[in-house]
Structure 1
Amino acid sequence: MNDHIAAALHDFTQRYCQQWQQRYGHLPASAELYSIPSPCAVENRNEQVLWQPQPFRAKPHLDAVERALDLQLQSAVVSYYTTQYAGDMPATYEQQPITLLQVWSEDDFVRVQENLIGHLVMKRRLKQTPTLFIATTASDSEVISVCNLTGEVICETLGTPRREKLAADLRTFLKLLQPVTEIA
C-alpha cells in the first residue's frame, strides 16, 4: 500500500512540476516559502523560491503523533507525509480548488506532526472519528482529510460532524487530482 501512495504522490508531483515548466519555463515557485530553508529550495528569484521535490530523509514514521494519542495511524497517511519534501501544491478535485499540503523540511515535519496532534485532540474532545488532514480548501472551516478508521478521503467541516466522502482511499484521490499552476 505504501508504495502505491508514494507512486501516486510522485505522479501528481511530476505532473505539477511539468505544468509549471511548460507554463512559466522554470521550476514551481512559492512566495510563502521564500527564505525558509529546505532541501527543495533551488533558487531565490523575485521574492519567491523555486523548488524541486526531494526524497524524504528523516525516518519514515509519524511516531510522535501515534505516541501522543496512543493511536495507530493509517499507513497511507504515514506514507503520504514521509515520501518527499516539496512545496504545497494547488490542485482541483472534481473542479473544486484545494491545496495539497506537503512537508517542506525536517523542521516543517515536526510542525506538521504537532498540527496533526492538535487536530486529533480536537476530534477526540468532540467525540468524532479521528481524521488526518492532507489538504486545505477555499474555506477556512473545511479540510480534506483521511479517515483513520476507514482510509476514505473526506471533506470535513472543522468543529462539526459534517463530512463528505470524496474517494475510497488516498491513492484514488491523488490519481484524480489535477494540478493548478496559476500564480495568484
Structure 2
Amino acid sequence: MEKETALALTAFTERYCDAWQKSYGTWPQSEALYGVPSPCILSSTESLVTWRPQPFSPSQNVNAIERALEIVIQPALNAFYTTQFAGDMPARFSGESLTLLQTWSADDFLRVQENLIGHLVTQKRLKLSPTLFIATLESEIEVISLCNLSGEVVKERLGTKQRSVLASSLTDFLNRLEPVL
C-alpha cells in the first residue's frame, strides 16, 4: 500500500507542477512559504518562493505518532508524509476544493507529526475513531482525513462523528485529484 500511495502522490504532484509550467512557464510559487527554509526552494523574489518537489531525505517515519499513542498508523499515511518535500497544493476532488498538505522540510515534518498527535489525542478524548488529516478545506471545522481503521479517505467535521467517505483508499483519492492553480 505504501508504494502505491507514493506513486499516486508523485503522479499528482507531477500533474500539479505540469499545470504550473503550462499556465505560467514556471515551477509552483507561493507567498505563504516565502522565507521558510526548505530543500524545495529554487528561487525567491521579494514576496514569492518558487519551489520544486524534492525527495524526502530524513530517514524518518510516523513512528513517533505510533509511540506517543500506542497505535499502529495506516502505512499509506507514512507514505503520504514521507515520499517528498513539497509545498501544499490546491486541488479539487469531486467538485470539492481543498489544499493537499505536504511537508516542506524536516522541521515541518516534526510539526506535522505534533499536530497529528494532538488531533488523535482530541479524538481519543471525545471517543471518536482515529483519523489523520491530509488536506484542509475552506471551512476551518472540516478536513479531509485518512481513517486509521478502514484506510478510507473521509471528509470530517472536527470534534464530531460527522464523516463521509470520499474514496476507498488514499491511492484512489490521490489518483482522482485535479490540480487547481
TM-score, normalised by the number of residues in structure 2:
0.99
Q: Unaligned stretches of 5+ in structure 2? A: none
Kindly state the Cα deviation for residue 45 of structure 1 after the two structures are TM-superposed: 2.2
Kindly state the Cα deviation for residue 92 of structure 1 after the two structures are TM-superposed: 0.2
Aligned residue for 1:145, secondary structure, equals strand
Kindly state the Cα deviation for residue 95 of structure 1 after the two structures are TM-superposed: 1.1
- Give yes or no for contact 1:60–1:78 (8 Å, CA) kept in 2: no
Separation of aligned partners in 2, 1:27 and 1:149: 37
Report Cα offsets for 1:130-161 as digits up to 9, x if no partner: 00000001110000000000000000000111
Kindly state the Cα deviation for residue 128 of structure 1 after the two structures are TM-superposed: 0.5
| Residue equivalent to 1:141 | 141
| Residue equivalent to 1:29 | 29
> Does residue 179 in structure 1 map to residue 179 in structure 2?
yes
Of all paired residues, the percent bearing the same amino acid is 54
AA paired with 1:35?
Answer: G
| Residue equivalent to 2:97 | 97
Separation of aligned partners in 1, 2:120 and 2:30: 29
| Residue equivalent to 1:78 | 78
| Residue equivalent to 1:88 | 88
Q: Unaligned stretches of 5+ in structure 1? A: none
- Write out the 4+ residue segments of structure 1 that deviate beyond 2 Å after TM superposition: none
Map 1:20-169; keep pairs closer than 5 Å.
20-169=20-169
- The number of aligned residues is 181
Kindly state the Cα deviation for residue 93 of structure 1 after the two structures are TM-superposed: 0.3
AA paired with 2:68?
Answer: A
Aligned residue for 2:135, secondary structure, equals strand
- Give yes or no for contact 1:5–1:171 (8 Å, CA) kept in 2: yes
TM-score, normalised by the number of residues in structure 1:
0.97
Separation of aligned partners in 2, 1:33 and 1:11: 22
- Give yes or no for contact 1:20–1:27 (8 Å, CA) kept in 2: yes
Separation of aligned partners in 2, 1:63 and 1:2: 15
Aligned residue for 2:90, secondary structure, equals strand
Aligned residue for 1:164, secondary structure, equals strand
Aligned residue for 2:159, secondary structure, equals coil
User: Alignment RMSD, CA only?
Assistant: 0.7
